[in-house]
Chain A
Amino acid sequence: MLGLTLATANTLAAQNAATIQAVATVASGPITVTPLRDLQFGQVMPGTPSTVLPTAPAAGQYVALGIPSAQASVNFTLPSTLDAGPVTMPIAFSPTSARVGWFNNPNFFVQVFDPSVGTAFRFSPAFFGSAMYVWIGGQVSPAVSQVAGFYSGTVVLTLAYTGS
């Protein structure tokens, strides 16, 4: 269902791209960033690290719409621990934990980057929907004595045009 929805999204984005571009010409284009899917590790086992790759269905995913072909900086604010009340669990991100690309496919023409460093990337041309998809994975390391509970945290994506 999600795939169908996003496939429709791509189609609609392409169909409406010309309109967005034309309006941007006279009204200083907008920017929209949408979290599509949270980063979900689901159930993990005490003492066993759990990794979600950016290509996995459980990876976090954003889509941004902006000015066609304009470059933007892509940066993350990342947690080092997740919390369940007063109890914490470490989380880590590797240099390959994030990807960015033009299409809703983390394996198709993407740039791999370190989410703790960030990168700069172009929005797709208008005929590809003026879009930018971003994926993020990570690794949690529950202790052997990790207390049961729901451990949560927040990932913040910061997007800024570099051409203005």
Chain B
Amino acid sequence: MRRRRYYHLMIVAGLLLGAVTQASSVLVAPHHIFIDHRVRSATIQLFNAGDQTEEVSIETVFGYPATDSLGRVYLYTEPAESEAELEERSAAGWIRAFPRRVTVRPGQRQTIRLLAQPPADLADGEYWTRVVVHAKGQHLPLAVSDGADIEVGLDLEVRTVIALTYRKGDVETGVRMSEVAPRIVGDTLYARPLLERDGEAAYIGMLRTEVVDSSGEVVREWEEQVAVYESLHRQLRYPVTDLPQGPYTVRMTVSTDRDDIEPPELLVATPVSDSATVIR
């Protein structure tokens, strides 16, 4: 059933992209792969929606979203052959893609199989890696006009990185939230909640921020996808232009209410909320 949905999805996106551009283009789905220890395999679907043949390679790297000292989100990654491979959480060293290199012609669909070969003594728990899909296409013409000029041009290539979660046994997730200290500067609301994973599995959820006035009415709200593998201390900025002056309560709620990941792959946890007062 899911395969059929992927197919429909790829057709829709392919028609869209095919109409969008006469260039190289590879659709990668899904954006998050889950592998159960009892199955030990999964697939990635590729679809070449462009008009050029694509050379695609697949590799795995250990990584997860993290935040830097300024609260900016980035994808922390380490090559599989580095010491990170030895980290307890990494599945990068024992997830294999077949084929690892493939040529995908325009309009062609390609299935990549991911096979897990974990250590025999793998403990129950959740293991992570990122799957990197590297597509090469749209090469520059190599001809030089008359051989006397200096011509310069650069090819553009693409690496699409998707998450892979491997689970063995029953795992639970949760999150702790602290340091909700909102402030309004000018027309911007700033908040930087500290989210820390609580449980052996990564917390995949949504962060809802609500501004509540003195009558209890929610006057502004925003939502963010969050993925807490270790911790996130993200700087959030929201516009509050036209918000009347006065005191407000900023309420932040983290929940596992995600519509892009299906149960049972999506682990459900009790929502966590915190709030603080801010003056506009």
> Contact residue range for chain A?
35 or more
Q: A35-B157, A71-B225, A161-B162 are in contact. Are A43 and B24 (CB under 8 A)?
A: no
* Inter-chain contacts of A36 with B (CB < 8 A): 21, 23
State whether A159 and B160 are in contact (beta carbons under 8 Å apart), knowing that A30-B9, A151-B150 are contacts in the complex.
yes
Contact yes or no, A39 B227, CB < 8 A:
no
CB contact under 8 A between A38 and B49, given known A27-B2, A29-B30, A32-B25: no
Residue in chain B with minimal CB distance to A89: B152
- Would A118 and B74 count as touching, CB distance under 8 A? yes
A31-B28 in contact given A60-B156, A148-B148, A157-B156 (Cβ < 8 Å): yes
Chain A residue nearest to B28 in the complex (CB)? A31
Whether A32 lies near B30 (C-beta < 8 A) is: no
B155 touches A154 (CB 8 A): yes
Tell me whether A42 is interfacial, beta carbon within 8 Å.
Answer: yes
Proximity string of chain A (113-137) to chain B, C-beta cutoff 8 Å, 1 when within and 0 when not: 0000011100000000000000000
Q: Measured between C-beta atoms, what is the minimum distance from B259 to chain A in Å?
A: 5
Check A27 against B151 for contact (C-beta < 8 Å).
no
Residue of B nearest to A136 (CB): B156
**Known interface pairs A28-B260, A67-B31, A146-B150; A162-B75 also in contact (CB < 8 Å):** yes
Asked if A149 and B158 sit within 8 Å, CB to CB, the answer is: no
Contact A155 B156, CB 8 Å, known A26-B262, A30-B27, A65-B13 = yes
Determine whether B5 belongs to the interface, using a CB cutoff of 8 Å to chain A. yes
A32-B8 CB under 8 A given contacts A149-B144, A156-B159, A163-B227: no
Q: Report if A107 contacts B (CB, 8 A).
A: no
What is the minimal beta-carbon distance from B54 to any residue of chain A, in angstroms?
A: 11
A-chain residues with CB within 8 Å of residue B149 when the two chains form the complex: 43, 148
Q: Is the CB of B17 within 8 A of A32?
A: yes
Q: Are A150 and B153 in contact (CB under 8 A)?
A: yes
Instruction: Tell whether A70 is near chain B: CB-to-CB under 8 Å.
Output: yes
Contact-size category for B = 35 or more
The reply to whether B24 and A29 contact each other, CB–CB distance below 8 Å, is no
A95 CB-CB contact with B under 8 Å: no
Most buried by A among B24, B45, B259: B259
Option from A45, A91, A157, A164 in Cβ contact (under 8 Å) with B157: A157
Q: Is B142 an interface residue (CB 8 A)?
A: yes
**Given that A16-B16, A39-B156 are known contacts, is A160 also in contact with B28, CB under 8 Å in the complex?**
no
A154 near B154 with CB under 8 A, answer yes
Residues of B within 8 A of A35 (CB): 23-24, 137-138, 155-158
Using a CB–CB distance below 8 Å, which chain B residues touch chain A?
2, 5-6, 8-10, 12-13, 15-17, 19-32, 45, 49-50, 65, 72-75, 130, 132, 134-135, 137-138, 140, 142-145, 147-163, 204, 223-227, 259-262
Q: What 8 A-B pairs come out closest when comparing CB atoms?
A: A163-B225, A28-B30, A30-B29, A160-B161, A35-B156, A41-B152, A9-B20, A34-B25
